[in-house]
């Protein structure tokens, strides 16, 4: 079984204070519900289960510490709009359902942050989608048409106005959309883990290595130092869902990488001519994401890798090459900040599907899953985990019907070695075609 094996160089996590003492799985345990995976989906599912069943014993189990995995490694965008591929969907009702679900997730996160005082740089900053060359500009014009068709507000920014935001003249034009929120993902995820309801027990550093039926309608979950018996199991395990035997040959493990700088000192801030606290995604999806954080760090994110063994597919030499590529992208945008070093370069693995379809629902009797976020984990994980708990306890709602209407079964993948060859070729082709946007 391939377990999570993330690098230890995630800047978001390194910026946090030391975590509280760990509680891990030990001995024989019995629970009414078990949630595996303490990312956005698992945290939301456990919290919702506790709301529905305040007397139930709920165990939330993760192979790592909370925020060490994918949910703490993203670029810190919580986006309300449908993702680029979903925005192409021909059915307007489909896109409106996605909008409603994403905005419900944002409202839910806002409420949790306010209620529990989670310090995670949460900001209603909106989002810029930027273009560098002609290819990017063409994508940007198409994006504007899709937004107009959807009836969503946006405005174009270019020239000195754009430079005054980004602190660079590298971009020709950008489209600003107001509904996105920015945050420090590891801080948000840890904050949610630290504020779980009383009847949710969080077990970290507790990989589940095997599931088996107990012959009485339930499951036994095996760990290295203990076992759990339960009749209801919810999987918020994203790409690792396939390691438990579900959705086999339907999920593609992809890792994307980011680097960030040391915080700009006062002299460097004088040379930096932009604002603080903004985020830009590329109009061409294979381009570069850039962020300026509230604590004065610049982030560069690009480079995609097919990682069939997850973190074990990446070695130090590859990480060094990615670091060098990020440095080139940074200097192309901020040559006047060449003295600002990168302090961390990290990757995060997520699941995509060939038909860009998210899975949500019941896998078998007593087993439920939300898997394959297709790269938009913060909002989707939050709302899908919440509604998965509703499904597990039989609580109907309009939102549950909406998520069932926009999800389905990910396409089956071709066998290896053809799958790996095809994915790697497509990633290389996308990088080549998008080289002006990197």
Q: What is the pLDDT along the chain (438 residues), one digit of tens a residue?
A: 898 999 999 999 999 999 999 999 999 999 999 999 999 999 999 999 999 999 999 999 999 999 999 999 999 999 999 987 889 999 999 999 999 999 999 999 999 999 999 999 999 999 999 999 999 999 999 999 999 999 999 999 999 999 999 999 999 999 999 999 999 999 999 999 999 999 999 999 999 999 999 988 899 999 999 999 999 999 999 999 999 999 999 999 999 999 999 999 999 999 999 999 999 999 998 899 999 999 999 999 998 899 999 999 999 999 999 999 999 999 999 999 999 999 999 999 999 898 989 999 999 999 999 998 766 789 999 999 999 999 999 999 999 999 999 999 999 988 787 677 777 887 777 777 777 777
Domains of the chain: 11-72+187-249+356-412 (3.50.50.60), 123-179+252-354+421-437 (3.30.9.10)
Q: Which residues contact 117 (CB under 8 A, 6 or more apart)?
A: none
Q: Among all chains, which residue has been given the structure tokens 């130092």? A: 225
How crowded is the C-beta side of 112, counted as CA atoms within 13 Å?
25
pTM as predicted: 0.96
Q: Would you state the structure tokens that stand for residue 91, as one six-digit string?
A: 């059915």
Q: Tell me if residue 201 falls in helix, strand or coil.
A: strand
Q: Tell me if residue 128 falls in helix, strand or coil.
A: strand
From the list 162, 164, 170, the residue with the least C-alpha distance to 133 is 170
User: Would you say 165 and 62 are in contact if contact means Cβ atoms under 8 Å apart?
Assistant: no
From the list 173, 136, 148, 135, the residue with the least C-alpha distance to 87 is 148
The interaxial angle of helices 92-116 and 377-393, nearest 10 deg, is 90
Q: Which residues contact 360 (CB under 8 A, 6 or more apart)?
A: 369, 370, 384, 387, 388, 403, 404, 407
Q: DSSP assignment, residue 22?
A: P
Q: How many Å apart are CA 326 and CA 297, to the nearest integer?
A: 14
Q: How many Å apart are CA 388 and CA 45, to the nearest integer?
A: 6
User: Would you say 271 and 72 are in contact if contact means Cβ atoms under 8 Å apart?
Assistant: no
Kindly report the number of other CB atoms within 10 A of residue 431's CB atom.
Answer: 17
Kindly report the number of other CB atoms within 10 A of residue 339's CB atom.
Answer: 9
Q: Would you state the structure tokens that stand for residue 387, as one six-digit string?
A: 């509604």
Q: Tell me if residue 305 falls in helix, strand or coil.
A: strand
């Amino acid at each position: 079984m391939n377990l999570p094996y993330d690098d230890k160089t995630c800047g978001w996590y390194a910026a946090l204070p030391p975590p509280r003492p760990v509680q891990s799985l030990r001995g024989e345990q019995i629970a009414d519900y078990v949630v595996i995976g303490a990312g956005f989906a698992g945290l939301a599912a456990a919290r919702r289960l506790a709301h529905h069943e305040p007397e139930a014993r709920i165990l939330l189990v993760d192979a790592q510490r909370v925020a060490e995995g994918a949910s703490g490694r993203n670029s810190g965008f919580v986006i309300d709009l449908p993702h680029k591929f979903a925005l192409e969907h021909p059915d307007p009702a489909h896109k409106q359902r996605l909008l409603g679900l994403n905005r419900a997730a944002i409202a839910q996160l806002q409420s949790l942050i306010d209620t529990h005082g989670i310090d995670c740089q949460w900001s209603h900053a909106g989002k810029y989608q930027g273009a560098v060359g002609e290819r990017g500009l063409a994508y940007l014009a198409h994006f504007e048409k899709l937004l107009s068709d959807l009836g969503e507000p946006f405005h174009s920014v270019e020239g000195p106005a754009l430079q005054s935001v980004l602190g660079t003249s590298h971009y020709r034009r950008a489209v600003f959309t107001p509904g996105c929120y920015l945050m420090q993902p590891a801080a948000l995820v840890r904050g949610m883990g630290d504020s779980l309801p009383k009847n949710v027990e969080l077990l970290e550093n507790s990989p589940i290595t095997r599931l088996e039926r107990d012959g009485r309608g339930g499951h036994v979950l095996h760990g290295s130092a203990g076992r759990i018996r339960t009749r209801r199991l919810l999987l918020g395990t994203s790409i690792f869902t396939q390691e438990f035997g579900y959705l086999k040959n339907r999920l593609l493990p992809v890792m994307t990488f980011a680097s960030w700088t040391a915080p700009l000192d006062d002299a460097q801030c004088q040379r930096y001519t932009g604002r603080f606290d903004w985020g830009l995604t590329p109009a061409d999806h294979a381009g570069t994401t850039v962020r300026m954080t509230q604590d004065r760090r610049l982030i560069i994110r690009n480079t995609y890798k097919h990682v069939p063994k997850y973190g074990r597919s990446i070695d130090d030499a590859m990480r060094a090459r990615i670091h060098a590529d990020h440095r080139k992208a940074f200097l192309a945008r901020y040559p006047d900040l060449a003295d600002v070093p990168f302090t961390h370069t990290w990757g995060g693995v997520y699941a995509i599907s060939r038909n860009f379809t998210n899975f949500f629902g019941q896998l078998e009797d007593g087993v439920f899953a939300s898997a394959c976020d297709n790269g938009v984990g913060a909002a989707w994980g939050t709302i899908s985990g919440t509604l998965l708990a509703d499904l597990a306890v039989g609580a109907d709602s309009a939102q549950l019907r909406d998520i069932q209407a926009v999800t389905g079964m990910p396409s089956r993948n071709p066998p290896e070695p053809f799958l790996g060859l095809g994915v790697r070729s497509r990633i290389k082709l996308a990088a080549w075609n998008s080289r002006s946007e990197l």
